[in-house]
Amino acid sequence: MPRYAHIIGWGKYVPPNILTNDDLAKTVDTTDKWIREMTGIQERHIAASKESTAALAVYAAREAIESADVSPQEIDMVIVATASPEYPFPATACLVQNAIGAERAGAFDLEAGCSGFVYALSTAAGMIRSEMYNTILVVGAETLSRIVDWNDRATCVLFGDGAGAVVLRGSEMPGGVMSSVLGADGSGGELLIVPGGGAKNPAGPETVLSKMHFIKMNGREVYRFATRVMATAAKQAVERAGWALDKIDLFIPHQANKRIIDSAARALNLPPEKVFINLQNYGNTSAASIPIALCEAIAEGRIHAGDHLVMVGFGAGLTWASCAIEWTAPKPGAITLPRAATSRLRYGWSGIKSMGWQVLRHVDALVSDVIDKVEGRGE
């Protein structure tokens, strides 16, 4: 029997701190009117100094796990899509895996820019269909505010922070992720890039002074690329799923620019009620934008069992990704107090065990050092 990958849980988190267009107009040469007309963005959420990509990811992951009503011990793999990871290494996914207590799970990061969540979702679905794994947590999380030049009005008005997550589980029941389209054009890599901090331009005084650790974007070319690829990728996913375009119940695109979304909707002949847009409240949260939008669409009652969804992302690389989903998840029940208490106990116990393992490693290292000195191996 074929296996299908179904979304059974979802969650999101955005920092409470809000930065409006009027706030930005006080520091850079721009206006609320211009930003709204050019992008559709009204405000964005910005992480506090003590909030990081991993922290946002953990909040979203825990909510997704609780809505799925699964134990972290049931999770086989954790995939975090991000362009703003906690560190170059270890993977942010490993930090999330530890924080949620998913001791059985493997973990890795996936970097495909703003297409990252759909890339990760498609990768997880493939793992489930192949019967390699059965339950996978997929997270899109970003703190892009850390790599934005707040003096560059071409980019600082666009980006925000946040995280969204889903839990996928295998089943013989038809539905779930029905098709995926993943693409890239590396010849356009320089159009959207953070040029400093990698092997080509290692971090140093010159890269810092040249602002090479901030996002650099050729807005005009990225806009042209996006308006071409969004509708094309959506049509390909729909075709691979065996649907007609008029069978789309809800289109959930990457939330980067309202004009790009409107262009794709026109090409797909979709009326406004079939297109989900929330970028006015969050700006471009990169790999987090689609899962955040999915969570809000569910909360607003715009997704029902049996609906046909299409998700499309585009971003640095250049990359693009789309998927067609037949929604099968019922509306989740309220998270009861006993269920919430159980979750808190799980995460508290996970934290205690994690600290215990760290102490044991430290003690083991000290004992090994003493033995080496006694036996003369440390000389």
Kindly name the residue from 257, 284, 295, 308 that is annotated as catalytic.
Answer: 284
Helix, strand, coil tally for the chain in percent (to 5): 45, 20, 35
**Nearest partner of 182 among 308, 284, 315, 326, judged by Cα:** 315
- Count CB atoms within 10 A of the CB of residue 352: 9
The reply to whether 284 belongs to the active site is yes
Return d(Cα 174, Cα 214) in angstroms, integer. 44
- Residue 344, judged by CB atoms within 10 A of its CB (0-12, 13-18, 19+), counts as exposed
Kindly name the residue from 254, 257, 308, 323 that is annotated as catalytic.
Answer: 254
Return d(Cα 346, Cα 106) in angstroms, integer. 19
Return d(Cα 168, Cα 328) in angstroms, integer. 11
Q: DSSP code of 258?
A: H
The reply to whether 114 belongs to the active site is yes
The reply to whether 254 belongs to the active site is yes
Q: Quick check: helix, strand or coil at residue 226?
A: helix
Kindly name the residue from 94, 114, 156, 323 that is annotated as catalytic.
Answer: 114
b/e burial code for range 234-272 (CB count within 10 A of at least 16 → b): bbbbbeebebebeebbbbbbbbbbbebbebbbebbebee
Q: Could you give the residue numbers annotated as active site?
A: 114, 254, 284
